[in-house]
A and B are shown apart, each in its own frame.
Chain A
Amino acid sequence: MVADADFWLTQFLNGMQLSMLLFLLSIGLTIIFGLMHFVNLAHGALYMVGAYVGVSAAASLGNFWLALIAAPLAVTIVGIFLYVAVIRRMRRAGPMNQVLVTFGLIFVLVDLVRILWGDIALGMEQPAILSGPAEIFGVSYPAYRLFIIAVGLVVMVALSLVLSRTQIGAMVRAGVENDAMASCLGINVERLFFAVFCVGCALAGLAGAVAAPVFSATPSMATDILIPTLIVVVIGGLGSLGGAIVGSLIIGFIQTFGAVVLPGFASVLVYVLLAIVLIAKPAGLLPARS
């Protein structure tokens, strides 16, 4: 295949865009995992709910930016409901039960979405200001997709600063590393977990709403995004921001470039990589606990 620099730059931006969506999802999942050893398979379903709420909010409010606020809020409310009704009771039930229950929640949420919105793909209009192509390094690329990359980078920087510079960030890192000791210092780790869980839900909702104009909202997005997100969490290392960043970039780029360079093997490549990481570094590339 002969391709020029423009082609590769476009692929690079596609890879970045996928990586940023994966990051927005995996960061919440990995910290919840790391902090409370809780497996929430329904995280991908929250992404789907975010997309549908975004579509409806944009249509009814007529404003893309309000939809971008409404979706994370709505998904956080759904998350709080799940926490109170289900997750809080499952905290000490062990990983297998948690996997089964949160796996079941996927079907519940997907069917609720089917009932409320129907079983068809719903599109969402891009804001006028981002609807055209943009010039970047001499390449024409959709402005909206650059916006997705920018949203991911902004969230990444903001979370890095909060985790590394603030007292709350230190509490989260301490809780991920050793929750028993953190509680002996007077930290209510369960409340901290709840706060982190809400932020994770909000980011999943944001990711869904941001993705909807490009990929449309469909019920299958709940499970389509779940597997790569889980792979990011495992490859990066549970509970680690750095791991979520590195893992998202690796998976985003392997999926994108794999589809171009080795079309027949693209879907296998990610699993090969997963196997290699699990053999070489079972705790992930940048585990939070050393």
Chain B
Amino acid sequence: MLEVRDLHAGYGETQVIHGVDLTVDEGRFHAILGRNGVGKTTTLKTIVGLLPSFSGEVMFDGASVSRSRPFDIARMGIAYVPETRDVFGSLSVLENLRLAARLAAGTDCKWTVERVFNFFPNLASRRDNGGNQLSGGEQQMLAIGRALVMNPKLLILDEPTEGLAPIVVRQIFDKLKELKGEGMTMLLVEQNFHFATRLADTASVFGRGKCVWSGTCEALRADEDLHRQWLGV
């Protein structure tokens, strides 16, 4: 479904990733692991169109999206949950969700605003609160819920557990597992090795701006040398 080939990208003149290759198959859950500063977030931002690619190609659903603008990519079916969550603080929880649901309006969709409220009951009780009044965990749930009501073909999550209490991390874990059970195609960037490898089917390990290893999560868990060299766990 998503195919990244020899992608070079970065911020302004500064190149961060040097030839990333990545494949996410339909219905699969793929994780990207790696230390800080190896280009995980840059890769995601380039896929969703927030950063221009210097060279290489991003294919989604058989079409090249390397030159597409973020709103076109979103409309093609990629939903993005950024590391910083970026819920709209001046909009209520309900408005945040309705804004994203606008895309899928009219079509027969799986995810509605009401279903997100059932999926994350915490959000339902906060529906009229402003995005800036939410706790970190609630903001994360809203960011995920906002991506879901877009009814995406591919859900991209950047470090959803960062800065959250263990009990909230557990909740997010369960919810992502539920989504996986429904067959949602997902791409996850994580520093939390156990969180990622227990959820994902396949994984890529990033180092120095490219993908240095990819395979199944079982193989990754078994390979201790790989951990030492690229993950430091």
Contacts and interface: CB of A to CB of B under 8 A. Distances in A.
Contacts of A176: 90
Interface of A: 167, 170-171, 173-174, 176-178, 180-189, 288, 290
A174 B96 CA distance: 8
A180 B84 CA distance: 12
B102 A167 contact: yes
A173 B132 CA distance: 14
B21 to A, nearest CB: 24
B190 to A, nearest CB: 20
Nearest to B81: A184
Contact of B99 (A170, A180, A290): A170
Contact of B103 (A173, A177, A181, A186): A186
Most buried by A among B69, B70, B82: B70
Given A167-B102, A170-B98, A185-B103, A178 B71 contact: no
B48 interface: yes
B109 to A, nearest CB: 14
Contacts of B102: 167, 185-186
Contacts of A173: 88, 90-91
Interface residues of B, number: 25
B82 A181 contact: yes
Q: Which of A183, A186, A290 has the most CB of B within 10 A?
A: A186
Interface in B40-80: 48-50, 69-71, 74-75, 79-80
B136 to A, nearest CB: 16
A290 B90 contact: yes
Contacts of A184: 48-50, 70-71, 74, 79-80, 82
Contact of B75 (A171, A181, A186): A186
B71 A171 contact: no
B215 interface: no
Contacts of B146: 185
A183 B99 contact: no
Contacts of B89: 177, 290
B150 interface: yes
B224 interface: no
B143 to A, nearest CB: 9
Given A173-B88, A177-B88, A177-B89, A183 B71 contact: yes
Contacts of A182: 88, 99
A84 B70 CA distance: 22
Contact of B50 (A171, A180, A187, A189): A180
A223 B150 CA distance: 46
Given A167-B99, A177-B90, 14 more contacts: A167-B98, A167-B102, A170-B98, A170-B99, A174-B90, A174-B99, A180-B50, A182-B88, A183-B70, A183-B74, A184-B48, A184-B49, A185-B102, A185-B103
Nearest to A192: B71
B201 interface: no
B218 interface: no
Nearest to A239: B90
A288 B90 contact: yes
A185 B71 CA distance: 7
